[in-house]
Structure 1
Protein backbone atom coordinates (compact mmCIF):
# COMPACT_ATOMS: atom_id res chain seq x y z
CA UNK A 1 0.00 0.00 0.00
CA UNK A 2 1.45 3.40 -0.94
CA UNK A 3 1.94 6.09 1.66
CA UNK A 4 -0.27 8.47 -0.31
CA UNK A 5 -3.12 5.96 -0.44
CA UNK A 6 -3.07 5.08 3.25
CA UNK A 7 -4.85 8.20 4.58
CA UNK A 8 -7.60 7.83 1.98
CA UNK A 9 -8.12 4.17 2.85
CA UNK A 10 -8.19 4.95 6.55
CA UNK A 11 -10.72 7.72 5.91
CA UNK A 12 -12.94 5.38 3.87
CA UNK A 13 -12.80 2.79 6.64
CA UNK A 14 -13.64 5.42 9.22
CA UNK A 15 -16.64 6.69 7.27
CA UNK A 16 -17.88 3.14 6.75
CA UNK A 17 -17.67 2.55 10.52
CA UNK A 18 -19.52 5.81 11.18
CA UNK A 19 -22.16 4.86 8.60
CA UNK A 20 -22.74 1.51 10.32
CA UNK A 21 -22.94 3.22 13.71
CA UNK A 22 -25.39 5.74 12.29
CA UNK A 23 -27.46 2.89 10.87
CA UNK A 24 -27.77 1.44 14.36
CA UNK A 25 -28.27 4.70 16.31
CA UNK A 26 -29.38 7.33 13.75
CA UNK A 27 -27.14 9.85 15.52
CA UNK A 28 -26.85 11.98 12.37
CA UNK A 29 -30.55 12.91 12.63
CA UNK A 30 -29.68 15.00 15.70
CA UNK A 31 -27.24 17.13 13.68
CA UNK A 32 -28.68 20.60 12.81
CA UNK A 33 -28.80 19.85 9.09
CA UNK A 34 -29.66 22.64 6.65
CA UNK A 35 -28.35 20.81 3.58
CA UNK A 36 -30.63 19.39 0.90
CA UNK A 37 -29.86 16.33 -1.21
CA UNK A 38 -30.55 14.60 -4.53
CA UNK A 39 -30.75 10.81 -4.74
CA UNK A 40 -29.56 9.01 -7.89
CA UNK A 41 -31.38 5.80 -8.82
CA UNK A 42 -31.02 3.70 -11.96
CA UNK A 43 -32.89 0.39 -12.04
CA UNK A 44 -35.58 -0.82 -9.64
CA UNK A 45 -36.11 -4.57 -9.78
CA UNK A 46 -34.36 -7.90 -10.12
CA UNK A 47 -31.83 -9.24 -10.85
CA UNK A 48 -29.38 -7.01 -9.08
CA UNK A 49 -26.88 -5.08 -11.15
CA UNK A 50 -25.13 -1.72 -11.24
CA UNK A 51 -27.41 0.96 -9.89
CA UNK A 52 -30.11 -1.61 -9.12
CA UNK A 53 -32.27 -1.81 -6.00
CA UNK A 54 -35.06 -4.28 -5.38
CA UNK A 55 -38.68 -3.13 -5.25
CA UNK A 56 -38.78 -4.01 -1.56
CA UNK A 57 -35.65 -1.94 -0.94
CA UNK A 58 -37.15 0.99 -2.87
CA UNK A 59 -40.30 0.84 -0.75
CA UNK A 60 -38.19 0.79 2.43
CA UNK A 61 -36.27 3.80 1.09
CA UNK A 62 -39.48 5.76 0.66
CA UNK A 63 -40.69 4.73 4.12
CA UNK A 64 -37.54 6.28 5.55
CA UNK A 65 -37.35 9.32 3.27
CA UNK A 66 -40.97 10.41 3.75
CA UNK A 67 -40.60 10.04 7.52
CA UNK A 68 -37.22 11.77 7.91
CA UNK A 69 -37.33 14.47 5.22
CA UNK A 70 -39.52 16.46 2.86
CA UNK A 71 -39.41 14.64 -0.49
CA UNK A 72 -39.68 17.34 -3.16
CA UNK A 73 -39.46 17.95 -6.89
CA UNK A 74 -35.89 18.58 -8.05
CA UNK A 75 -35.90 22.41 -8.31
CA UNK A 76 -37.01 22.70 -4.67
CA UNK A 77 -33.64 21.42 -3.41
CA UNK A 78 -32.21 24.81 -4.40
CA UNK A 79 -34.39 26.49 -1.78
CA UNK A 80 -33.19 26.82 1.82
CA UNK A 81 -35.14 26.87 5.04
CA UNK A 82 -37.65 24.59 6.68
CA UNK A 83 -37.35 20.82 6.73
CA UNK A 84 -34.42 19.13 4.97
CA UNK A 85 -35.42 18.40 1.37
CA UNK A 86 -34.56 15.37 -0.74
CA UNK A 87 -35.33 14.89 -4.46
CA UNK A 88 -35.43 11.60 -6.36
CA UNK A 89 -33.85 11.17 -9.80
CA UNK A 90 -33.73 8.14 -12.11
CA UNK A 91 -31.19 7.77 -14.92
CA UNK A 92 -31.68 5.90 -18.21
CA UNK A 93 -35.51 5.50 -18.36
CA UNK A 94 -35.43 1.73 -17.95
CA UNK A 95 -38.61 -0.28 -18.43
CA UNK A 96 -38.50 -1.20 -14.77
CA UNK A 97 -39.11 2.44 -13.86
CA UNK A 98 -42.51 2.08 -15.52
CA UNK A 99 -43.10 -1.43 -14.18
CA UNK A 100 -41.68 -1.20 -10.65
CA UNK A 101 -40.75 2.31 -9.54
CA UNK A 102 -43.73 4.33 -10.76
CA UNK A 103 -46.35 2.28 -8.85
CA UNK A 104 -44.40 2.83 -5.61
CA UNK A 105 -44.02 6.56 -6.32
CA UNK A 106 -47.78 6.72 -6.77
CA UNK A 107 -48.31 4.77 -3.56
CA UNK A 108 -46.28 7.29 -1.56
CA UNK A 109 -47.30 10.32 -3.65
CA UNK A 110 -43.73 11.56 -4.10
CA UNK A 111 -42.27 13.26 -7.23
CA UNK A 112 -39.31 12.15 -9.31
CA UNK A 113 -37.28 13.24 -12.33
CA UNK A 114 -36.61 10.68 -15.09
CA UNK A 115 -33.61 11.28 -17.39
CA UNK A 116 -34.01 9.83 -20.90
CA UNK A 117 -31.23 8.82 -23.38
CA UNK A 118 -33.24 9.59 -26.52
CA UNK A 119 -31.58 7.27 -29.07
CA UNK A 120 -32.15 4.25 -26.81
CA UNK A 121 -35.91 4.70 -26.42
CA UNK A 122 -37.61 1.47 -27.51
CA UNK A 123 -34.33 -0.39 -27.95
CA UNK A 124 -30.60 0.12 -28.05
CA UNK A 125 -28.96 0.84 -31.43
CA UNK A 126 -26.49 -1.83 -32.58
CA UNK A 127 -23.08 -1.38 -31.02
CA UNK A 128 -24.12 1.04 -28.29
CA UNK A 129 -25.14 -1.25 -25.43
CA UNK A 130 -21.65 -1.14 -23.91
CA UNK A 131 -22.34 2.38 -22.70
CA UNK A 132 -24.53 0.99 -19.94
CA UNK A 133 -21.93 -1.52 -18.76
CA UNK A 134 -18.51 0.06 -19.36
CA UNK A 135 -16.63 2.95 -17.82
CA UNK A 136 -15.36 5.78 -20.03
CA UNK A 137 -12.49 6.26 -17.59
CA UNK A 138 -11.02 2.93 -18.68
CA UNK A 139 -11.41 3.38 -22.44
CA UNK A 140 -9.83 6.18 -24.44
CA UNK A 141 -12.10 5.48 -27.44
CA UNK A 142 -15.27 5.27 -25.38
CA UNK A 143 -17.31 7.45 -27.75
CA UNK A 144 -16.45 5.23 -30.73
CA UNK A 145 -18.82 2.20 -30.87
CA UNK A 146 -16.56 0.53 -33.44
CA UNK A 147 -13.88 0.22 -30.76
CA UNK A 148 -16.07 -2.17 -28.76
CA UNK A 149 -16.95 -5.71 -29.76
CA UNK A 150 -18.59 -7.53 -26.86
CA UNK A 151 -21.65 -9.65 -27.57
CA UNK A 152 -22.04 -10.40 -23.86
CA UNK A 153 -23.26 -6.85 -23.19
CA UNK A 154 -27.02 -7.03 -23.65
CA UNK A 155 -29.19 -4.17 -24.86
CA UNK A 156 -30.70 -2.18 -21.99
CA UNK A 157 -34.46 -2.34 -21.49
CA UNK A 158 -35.29 1.30 -22.15
CA UNK A 159 -38.94 2.34 -22.29
CA UNK A 160 -40.87 2.73 -25.53
CA UNK A 161 -42.21 6.12 -26.62
CA UNK A 162 -45.73 4.98 -25.72
CA UNK A 163 -44.66 4.18 -22.17
CA UNK A 164 -42.71 7.42 -21.93
CA UNK A 165 -45.78 9.41 -22.98
CA UNK A 166 -47.78 7.74 -20.23
CA UNK A 167 -45.04 8.43 -17.70
CA UNK A 168 -44.63 12.05 -18.83
CA UNK A 169 -48.36 12.60 -18.38
CA UNK A 170 -48.17 11.56 -14.72
CA UNK A 171 -48.08 14.66 -12.47
CA UNK A 172 -45.51 13.00 -10.22
CA UNK A 173 -42.90 12.55 -12.97
CA UNK A 174 -40.85 15.17 -14.80
CA UNK A 175 -38.84 14.09 -17.82
CA UNK A 176 -35.30 15.36 -18.30
CA UNK A 177 -32.60 15.01 -20.97
CA UNK A 178 -29.82 12.40 -20.69
CA UNK A 179 -28.28 13.22 -24.11
CA UNK A 180 -29.10 11.44 -27.34
CA UNK A 181 -26.61 8.54 -27.29
CA UNK A 182 -25.32 8.56 -23.69
CA UNK A 183 -21.96 10.00 -24.71
CA UNK A 184 -19.08 10.69 -22.39
CA UNK A 185 -19.37 14.48 -22.74
CA UNK A 186 -15.98 15.04 -21.11
CA UNK A 187 -14.41 13.80 -24.36
CA UNK A 188 -16.55 15.73 -26.84
CA UNK A 189 -14.86 18.81 -28.28
CA UNK A 190 -17.08 19.48 -31.31
CA UNK A 191 -19.73 22.13 -30.60
CA UNK A 192 -22.13 20.72 -33.20
CA UNK A 193 -22.01 17.27 -31.57
CA UNK A 194 -22.63 18.79 -28.15
CA UNK A 195 -25.63 20.72 -29.44
CA UNK A 196 -27.11 17.63 -31.09
CA UNK A 197 -26.60 15.46 -28.01
CA UNK A 198 -27.91 18.06 -25.57
CA UNK A 199 -30.22 20.52 -27.35
CA UNK A 200 -31.30 18.17 -30.15
CA UNK A 201 -32.16 15.44 -27.66
CA UNK A 202 -34.17 17.91 -25.59
CA UNK A 203 -36.06 19.12 -28.65
CA UNK A 204 -36.96 15.57 -29.67
CA UNK A 205 -38.22 14.78 -26.17
CA UNK A 206 -40.40 17.88 -26.21
CA UNK A 207 -41.76 17.14 -29.69
CA UNK A 208 -42.53 13.48 -29.03
CA UNK A 209 -43.87 13.83 -25.50
CA UNK A 210 -45.59 17.20 -25.72
CA UNK A 211 -43.96 18.50 -22.51
CA UNK A 212 -41.40 21.17 -21.67
CA UNK A 213 -37.98 19.71 -20.80
CA UNK A 214 -35.52 21.82 -18.82
CA UNK A 215 -33.55 19.35 -16.63
CA UNK A 216 -30.36 17.58 -17.67
CA UNK A 217 -28.22 14.70 -16.43
CA UNK A 218 -24.60 14.23 -17.58
CA UNK A 219 -24.00 10.58 -18.62
CA UNK A 220 -21.55 8.96 -16.18
CA UNK A 221 -21.57 12.33 -14.40
CA UNK A 222 -18.80 13.49 -16.74
CA UNK A 223 -18.64 16.82 -18.56
CA UNK A 224 -16.39 19.52 -19.97
CA UNK A 225 -16.80 23.26 -19.56
CA UNK A 226 -18.02 23.37 -23.17
CA UNK A 227 -20.73 20.81 -22.34
CA UNK A 228 -21.80 22.76 -19.26
CA UNK A 229 -22.06 25.91 -21.40
CA UNK A 230 -24.43 24.19 -23.85
CA UNK A 231 -26.51 22.77 -21.00
CA UNK A 232 -26.68 26.20 -19.35
CA UNK A 233 -27.97 27.71 -22.61
CA UNK A 234 -30.70 25.09 -23.06
CA UNK A 235 -31.76 23.81 -19.62
CA UNK A 236 -32.60 25.24 -16.20
CA UNK A 237 -30.51 22.81 -14.12
CA UNK A 238 -28.33 19.70 -14.32
CA UNK A 239 -27.18 16.87 -12.06
CA UNK A 240 -23.83 15.10 -11.97
CA UNK A 241 -22.59 11.88 -10.39
CA UNK A 242 -20.33 13.76 -8.01
CA UNK A 243 -21.07 12.60 -4.48
CA UNK A 244 -22.37 15.06 -1.92
CA UNK A 245 -25.24 17.18 -0.68
CA UNK A 246 -26.18 20.84 -1.06
CA UNK A 247 -24.75 22.34 2.13
CA UNK A 248 -25.79 25.84 1.00
CA UNK A 249 -28.75 25.21 -1.34
CA UNK A 250 -29.25 28.80 -2.48
CA UNK A 251 -25.55 29.12 -3.41
CA UNK A 252 -25.32 25.76 -5.21
CA UNK A 253 -24.27 25.58 -8.86
CA UNK A 254 -27.54 24.60 -10.53
CA UNK A 255 -25.62 23.02 -13.44
CA UNK A 256 -23.33 20.82 -11.35
CA UNK A 257 -25.61 19.41 -8.65
CA UNK A 258 -24.07 16.54 -6.67
CA UNK A 259 -26.06 13.44 -5.82
CA UNK A 260 -26.14 10.58 -3.32
CA UNK A 261 -25.91 7.09 -4.86
CA UNK A 262 -29.15 5.36 -3.91
CA UNK A 263 -27.95 1.84 -4.78
CA UNK A 264 -25.30 1.78 -2.05
CA UNK A 265 -26.03 -0.24 1.13
CA UNK A 266 -28.85 1.30 3.15
CA UNK A 267 -26.72 2.41 6.11
CA UNK A 268 -24.31 4.18 3.76
CA UNK A 269 -27.05 5.95 1.79
CA UNK A 270 -28.69 7.27 4.95
CA UNK A 271 -25.39 8.54 6.32
CA UNK A 272 -24.50 10.07 2.94
CA UNK A 273 -27.78 12.01 3.02
CA UNK A 274 -26.62 13.76 6.18
CA UNK A 275 -24.86 17.09 6.07
CA UNK A 276 -22.81 15.81 9.01
CA UNK A 277 -21.14 13.20 6.79
CA UNK A 278 -19.92 15.85 4.34
CA UNK A 279 -18.91 18.27 7.10
CA UNK A 280 -16.69 15.54 8.51
CA UNK A 281 -15.28 14.98 5.03
CA UNK A 282 -14.29 18.65 4.87
CA UNK A 283 -12.60 18.41 8.27
CA UNK A 284 -10.68 15.27 7.29
CA UNK A 285 -9.66 16.90 4.01
Structure 2
Protein backbone atom coordinates (compact mmCIF):
# COMPACT_ATOMS: atom_id res chain seq x y z
CA UNK A 1 0.00 0.00 0.00
CA UNK A 2 1.42 3.41 -0.94
CA UNK A 3 1.92 6.19 1.56
CA UNK A 4 -0.91 8.28 0.15
CA UNK A 5 -3.34 5.35 0.36
CA UNK A 6 -2.29 4.69 3.95
CA UNK A 7 -2.75 8.36 4.84
CA UNK A 8 -6.23 8.38 3.31
CA UNK A 9 -7.19 5.24 5.23
CA UNK A 10 -5.95 6.73 8.49
CA UNK A 11 -7.83 9.98 7.81
CA UNK A 12 -10.99 8.07 6.94
CA UNK A 13 -10.79 6.02 10.14
CA UNK A 14 -10.25 9.19 12.14
CA UNK A 15 -13.25 10.90 10.59
CA UNK A 16 -15.42 7.83 11.20
CA UNK A 17 -14.41 7.92 14.88
CA UNK A 18 -15.14 11.64 15.14
CA UNK A 19 -18.50 11.12 13.43
CA UNK A 20 -19.45 8.49 16.01
CA UNK A 21 -18.24 10.67 18.87
CA UNK A 22 -20.20 13.63 17.57
CA UNK A 23 -23.35 11.51 17.33
CA UNK A 24 -22.94 10.58 20.99
CA UNK A 25 -21.91 13.99 22.37
CA UNK A 26 -22.77 16.62 19.73
CA UNK A 27 -19.36 18.14 20.44
CA UNK A 28 -19.15 19.81 17.01
CA UNK A 29 -21.87 22.24 18.12
CA UNK A 30 -19.31 23.72 20.55
CA UNK A 31 -16.99 24.71 17.71
CA UNK A 32 -17.17 28.52 17.51
CA UNK A 33 -17.04 28.90 13.73
CA UNK A 34 -20.30 28.67 11.81
CA UNK A 35 -21.13 27.70 8.23
CA UNK A 36 -24.22 27.65 6.05
CA UNK A 37 -25.22 24.55 4.12
CA UNK A 38 -27.43 23.24 1.32
CA UNK A 39 -29.00 19.80 1.72
CA UNK A 40 -29.55 17.65 -1.38
CA UNK A 41 -32.60 15.38 -1.28
CA UNK A 42 -34.05 13.20 -4.03
CA UNK A 43 -36.81 10.71 -3.20
CA UNK A 44 -38.85 10.77 0.00
CA UNK A 45 -40.69 7.60 0.97
CA UNK A 46 -40.05 5.71 -2.27
CA UNK A 47 -37.82 2.69 -1.55
CA UNK A 48 -36.87 2.32 -5.21
CA UNK A 49 -35.83 5.93 -5.66
CA UNK A 50 -32.23 7.14 -5.69
CA UNK A 51 -31.19 8.83 -2.48
CA UNK A 52 -34.39 7.77 -0.76
CA UNK A 53 -35.20 8.76 2.79
CA UNK A 54 -38.34 7.65 4.59
CA UNK A 55 -41.02 10.13 5.62
CA UNK A 56 -40.21 9.48 9.28
CA UNK A 57 -36.53 10.10 8.58
CA UNK A 58 -37.36 13.36 6.78
CA UNK A 59 -39.41 14.50 9.76
CA UNK A 60 -36.50 13.68 12.10
CA UNK A 61 -34.22 15.70 9.81
CA UNK A 62 -36.48 18.71 10.14
CA UNK A 63 -36.65 18.28 13.91
CA UNK A 64 -32.86 18.53 14.00
CA UNK A 65 -32.54 21.28 11.42
CA UNK A 66 -35.15 23.59 12.93
CA UNK A 67 -33.54 23.17 16.36
CA UNK A 68 -29.96 23.89 15.30
CA UNK A 69 -30.24 26.00 12.13
CA UNK A 70 -32.30 28.68 10.50
CA UNK A 71 -33.96 26.92 7.55
CA UNK A 72 -33.97 29.40 4.68
CA UNK A 73 -34.67 29.70 0.98
CA UNK A 74 -31.70 28.71 -1.17
CA UNK A 75 -30.25 32.17 -2.02
CA UNK A 76 -30.19 33.09 1.67
CA UNK A 77 -27.27 30.72 2.36
CA UNK A 78 -25.20 33.36 0.57
CA UNK A 79 -26.07 35.88 3.28
CA UNK A 80 -24.63 35.86 6.77
CA UNK A 81 -25.59 37.65 9.95
CA UNK A 82 -24.06 35.28 12.48
CA UNK A 83 -26.73 32.59 12.41
CA UNK A 84 -26.23 29.15 10.86
CA UNK A 85 -28.44 28.65 7.84
CA UNK A 86 -29.47 25.59 5.88
CA UNK A 87 -31.47 25.36 2.65
CA UNK A 88 -33.37 22.31 1.41
CA UNK A 89 -33.18 21.24 -2.24
CA UNK A 90 -34.91 18.36 -4.03
CA UNK A 91 -33.61 17.07 -7.35
CA UNK A 92 -35.79 15.54 -10.10
CA UNK A 93 -39.33 16.59 -9.05
CA UNK A 94 -40.49 13.06 -8.27
CA UNK A 95 -44.15 12.47 -7.54
CA UNK A 96 -43.22 11.53 -3.99
CA UNK A 97 -42.18 15.14 -3.35
CA UNK A 98 -45.82 16.17 -3.66
CA UNK A 99 -47.10 13.10 -1.86
CA UNK A 100 -44.61 12.81 0.99
CA UNK A 101 -42.20 15.73 1.30
CA UNK A 102 -44.46 18.75 0.82
CA UNK A 103 -46.87 17.83 3.65
CA UNK A 104 -43.92 17.67 6.06
CA UNK A 105 -42.53 20.97 4.78
CA UNK A 106 -45.92 22.50 5.48
CA UNK A 107 -46.00 20.93 8.93
CA UNK A 108 -42.71 22.64 9.83
CA UNK A 109 -43.29 25.76 7.75
CA UNK A 110 -39.91 25.60 5.99
CA UNK A 111 -39.08 26.40 2.33
CA UNK A 112 -37.50 24.19 -0.32
CA UNK A 113 -36.30 24.38 -3.92
CA UNK A 114 -37.52 21.75 -6.40
CA UNK A 115 -35.34 21.17 -9.49
CA UNK A 116 -37.31 19.99 -12.53
CA UNK A 117 -35.98 18.01 -15.56
CA UNK A 118 -38.44 19.53 -18.02
CA UNK A 119 -38.69 16.87 -20.72
CA UNK A 120 -39.40 14.19 -18.10
CA UNK A 121 -42.46 15.92 -16.64
CA UNK A 122 -45.37 13.46 -16.89
CA UNK A 123 -43.25 10.66 -18.37
CA UNK A 124 -39.72 10.12 -19.64
CA UNK A 125 -39.19 10.82 -23.34
CA UNK A 126 -38.79 7.57 -25.25
CA UNK A 127 -35.35 6.08 -24.76
CA UNK A 128 -34.23 8.50 -22.04
CA UNK A 129 -35.32 6.84 -18.79
CA UNK A 130 -31.81 5.40 -18.40
CA UNK A 131 -30.58 8.86 -17.41
CA UNK A 132 -32.06 8.35 -13.97
CA UNK A 133 -30.77 4.80 -13.57
CA UNK A 134 -27.19 5.02 -14.90
CA UNK A 135 -24.18 7.12 -13.92
CA UNK A 136 -22.27 9.19 -16.49
CA UNK A 137 -19.02 8.33 -14.73
CA UNK A 138 -19.46 4.73 -15.88
CA UNK A 139 -20.39 5.36 -19.53
CA UNK A 140 -18.33 7.38 -21.97
CA UNK A 141 -21.32 7.58 -24.34
CA UNK A 142 -23.79 8.53 -21.60
CA UNK A 143 -25.31 11.38 -23.64
CA UNK A 144 -26.10 9.08 -26.58
CA UNK A 145 -29.49 7.36 -26.07
CA UNK A 146 -28.66 4.91 -28.85
CA UNK A 147 -26.03 3.36 -26.59
CA UNK A 148 -28.79 2.33 -24.17
CA UNK A 149 -31.40 1.27 -26.74
CA UNK A 150 -31.39 -2.36 -25.59
CA UNK A 151 -31.93 -1.53 -21.92
CA UNK A 152 -35.29 -1.61 -20.20
CA UNK A 153 -35.41 0.99 -17.44
CA UNK A 154 -38.48 2.02 -15.48
CA UNK A 155 -39.83 5.54 -15.79
CA UNK A 156 -38.37 7.74 -13.02
CA UNK A 157 -41.79 9.04 -11.94
CA UNK A 158 -41.45 12.79 -12.40
CA UNK A 159 -44.70 14.55 -11.54
CA UNK A 160 -47.16 15.75 -14.18
CA UNK A 161 -47.53 19.38 -15.28
CA UNK A 162 -50.85 19.58 -13.47
CA UNK A 163 -49.33 18.40 -10.21
CA UNK A 164 -46.24 20.55 -10.72
CA UNK A 165 -48.43 23.65 -11.14
CA UNK A 166 -50.16 22.87 -7.86
CA UNK A 167 -46.83 22.35 -6.10
CA UNK A 168 -45.32 25.51 -7.61
CA UNK A 169 -48.24 27.54 -6.29
CA UNK A 170 -47.31 26.67 -2.71
CA UNK A 171 -45.47 29.61 -1.09
CA UNK A 172 -42.96 27.22 0.49
CA UNK A 173 -41.81 25.80 -2.87
CA UNK A 174 -39.59 27.48 -5.45
CA UNK A 175 -39.06 25.75 -8.78
CA UNK A 176 -35.60 25.57 -10.34
CA UNK A 177 -34.15 24.31 -13.62
CA UNK A 178 -32.62 20.82 -13.88
CA UNK A 179 -32.11 20.91 -17.70
CA UNK A 180 -34.41 19.38 -20.29
CA UNK A 181 -33.08 15.84 -20.65
CA UNK A 182 -30.84 15.33 -17.61
CA UNK A 183 -27.59 14.92 -19.60
CA UNK A 184 -23.98 14.91 -18.46
CA UNK A 185 -23.17 18.60 -18.91
CA UNK A 186 -19.48 17.93 -18.30
CA UNK A 187 -19.33 16.43 -21.81
CA UNK A 188 -21.29 19.16 -23.59
CA UNK A 189 -19.36 22.12 -25.00
CA UNK A 190 -21.67 23.08 -27.87
CA UNK A 191 -23.27 26.41 -27.01
CA UNK A 192 -26.50 25.73 -28.89
CA UNK A 193 -27.05 22.44 -27.07
CA UNK A 194 -26.34 24.07 -23.71
CA UNK A 195 -28.73 26.92 -24.45
CA UNK A 196 -31.49 24.43 -25.25
CA UNK A 197 -30.85 22.32 -22.16
CA UNK A 198 -30.46 25.20 -19.72
CA UNK A 199 -32.15 28.35 -21.02
CA UNK A 200 -34.81 26.49 -23.00
CA UNK A 201 -35.74 24.45 -19.94
CA UNK A 202 -35.96 27.58 -17.81
CA UNK A 203 -38.15 29.35 -20.37
CA UNK A 204 -40.57 26.42 -20.60
CA UNK A 205 -40.88 26.23 -16.82
CA UNK A 206 -41.66 29.93 -16.65
CA UNK A 207 -44.20 29.74 -19.49
CA UNK A 208 -46.01 26.66 -18.21
CA UNK A 209 -45.99 27.51 -14.51
CA UNK A 210 -46.24 31.30 -14.62
CA UNK A 211 -43.32 31.73 -12.21
CA UNK A 212 -39.86 33.26 -12.35
CA UNK A 213 -37.12 30.60 -12.44
CA UNK A 214 -33.68 31.81 -11.36
CA UNK A 215 -31.94 28.80 -9.79
CA UNK A 216 -30.28 25.78 -11.39
CA UNK A 217 -29.04 22.30 -10.51
CA UNK A 218 -26.39 20.50 -12.61
CA UNK A 219 -27.48 16.89 -13.29
CA UNK A 220 -25.17 14.53 -11.41
CA UNK A 221 -23.42 17.68 -10.21
CA UNK A 222 -21.31 17.66 -13.38
CA UNK A 223 -20.59 20.56 -15.72
CA UNK A 224 -18.28 22.01 -18.32
CA UNK A 225 -17.00 25.56 -18.08
CA UNK A 226 -19.23 26.40 -21.01
CA UNK A 227 -22.24 25.07 -19.09
CA UNK A 228 -21.39 27.19 -16.06
CA UNK A 229 -21.16 30.25 -18.28
CA UNK A 230 -24.62 29.62 -19.75
CA UNK A 231 -26.05 29.13 -16.25
CA UNK A 232 -24.33 32.29 -15.01
CA UNK A 233 -25.96 34.31 -17.78
CA UNK A 234 -29.46 32.85 -17.26
CA UNK A 235 -29.87 32.13 -13.54
CA UNK A 236 -29.00 33.71 -10.19
CA UNK A 237 -27.66 30.70 -8.27
CA UNK A 238 -26.72 27.07 -9.00
CA UNK A 239 -25.92 23.97 -6.96
CA UNK A 240 -23.52 21.12 -7.60
CA UNK A 241 -23.01 17.71 -5.98
CA UNK A 242 -19.62 18.67 -4.56
CA UNK A 243 -19.71 17.93 -0.86
CA UNK A 244 -19.15 20.84 1.48
CA UNK A 245 -20.59 23.87 3.24
CA UNK A 246 -20.49 27.64 2.77
CA UNK A 247 -18.01 29.34 5.10
CA UNK A 248 -17.65 32.75 3.48
CA UNK A 249 -20.72 33.73 1.44
CA UNK A 250 -18.99 36.76 -0.07
CA UNK A 251 -16.21 34.60 -1.51
CA UNK A 252 -18.39 31.67 -2.55
CA UNK A 253 -19.11 31.04 -6.23
CA UNK A 254 -22.90 31.22 -6.30
CA UNK A 255 -22.93 29.12 -9.47
CA UNK A 256 -21.03 26.17 -7.95
CA UNK A 257 -22.57 25.84 -4.51
CA UNK A 258 -21.59 22.66 -2.63
CA UNK A 259 -24.21 20.50 -0.95
CA UNK A 260 -24.53 17.93 1.82
CA UNK A 261 -26.02 14.59 0.75
CA UNK A 262 -29.19 14.25 2.78
CA UNK A 263 -29.68 10.53 2.03
CA UNK A 264 -26.58 9.47 3.98
CA UNK A 265 -27.25 8.02 7.43
CA UNK A 266 -28.37 10.55 10.02
CA UNK A 267 -25.10 10.46 11.92
CA UNK A 268 -23.14 11.25 8.76
CA UNK A 269 -25.46 14.07 7.67
CA UNK A 270 -25.28 15.84 11.02
CA UNK A 271 -21.48 15.56 11.04
CA UNK A 272 -21.36 16.82 7.43
CA UNK A 273 -23.43 19.85 8.44
CA UNK A 274 -20.86 20.95 11.01
CA UNK A 275 -18.25 23.60 10.26
CA UNK A 276 -15.71 21.62 12.27
CA UNK A 277 -15.94 18.62 9.96
CA UNK A 278 -14.89 20.68 6.92
CA UNK A 279 -12.16 22.62 8.73
CA UNK A 280 -10.64 19.31 9.74
CA UNK A 281 -10.87 18.19 6.12
CA UNK A 282 -8.86 21.24 5.07
CA UNK A 283 -6.29 20.48 7.78
CA UNK A 284 -5.69 16.86 6.77
CA UNK A 285 -5.86 17.67 3.05
In the superposition, the TM-score normalised over structure 1's length comes to 0.97
Q: In the alignment, what sits opposite 2:207?
A: 207
> Does the CA contact (< 8 Å) of 1:186 and 1:224 recur in 2?
yes
Q: In the alignment, what sits opposite 1:261?
A: 261
- The verdict on how the C-alpha distance between 1:49 and 1:17 changes in structure 2, with shifts beyond 3 A counting, is farther
Q: In the alignment, what sits opposite 1:142?
A: 142
Kindly indicate whether residue 173 of structure 2 is the aligned counterpart of residue 180 of structure 1: no
- The verdict on how the C-alpha distance between 1:283 and 1:217 changes in structure 2, with shifts beyond 3 A counting, is same
CA distance in 2, matches of 1:92, 1:46: 13
CA distance in 1, matches of 2:192, 2:46: 39
CA distance in 1, matches of 2:3, 2:129: 39
Show structure 1 runs of 5+ residues with no match: none
CA distance in 1, matches of 2:173, 2:33: 27
Q: In the alignment, what sits opposite 1:271?
A: 271
> Does the CA contact (< 8 Å) of 1:48 and 1:54 recur in 2?
no
SS of 1:59 mapped into structure 2: helix
Q: In the alignment, what sits opposite 1:245?
A: 245
> Does the CA contact (< 8 Å) of 2:34 and 2:247 recur in 1?
yes
Judge which range, 199-208 or 248-257, deviates more.
248-257
Offset, 1:150? 5.2
> Does the CA contact (< 8 Å) of 1:35 and 1:249 recur in 2?
no
CA distance in 2, matches of 1:33, 1:129: 43
- Aligned pair count reads 285
Offset, 1:8? 1.8
> Does the CA contact (< 8 Å) of 1:71 and 1:86 recur in 2?
yes
Q: CA RMSD in A?
A: 1.1
Kindly indicate whether residue 79 of structure 2 is the aligned counterpart of residue 67 of structure 1: no
CA distance in 2, matches of 1:116, 1:150: 27
CA distance in 1, matches of 2:150, 2:93: 23
CA distance in 1, matches of 2:2, 2:146: 37
Offset, 1:4? 3.1
CA distance in 1, matches of 2:165, 2:246: 32
| Cα shift readout 1:180-213 (whole Å, capped 9, x = no counterpart) | 0001000001100000000000000000000000
Query: How do 1:10-159 residues align onto structure 2 when only pairs under 5 Å count?
Result: 10-47=10-47, 49-149=49-149, 151-159=151-159
> Does the CA contact (< 8 Å) of 1:38 and 1:74 recur in 2?
yes
Show structure 2 runs of 5+ residues with no match: none
Q: In the alignment, what sits opposite 2:168?
A: 168
SS of 1:182 mapped into structure 2: coil
Offset, 1:2? 4.3
Judge which range, 124-133 or 213-222, deviates more.
124-133
SS of 2:122 mapped into structure 1: coil
Offset, 1:49? 4.3
> Does the CA contact (< 8 Å) of 1:34 and 1:248 recur in 2?
no
SS of 1:153 mapped into structure 2: coil
Q: Runs ≥4 in structure 1, deviation > 4 angstroms? A: none
SS of 2:226 mapped into structure 1: helix
CA distance in 2, matches of 1:112, 1:150: 37
Q: In the alignment, what sits opposite 1:284?
A: 284
> Does the CA contact (< 8 Å) of 2:46 and 2:96 recur in 1?
no
In the superposition, the TM-score normalised over structure 2's length comes to 0.97
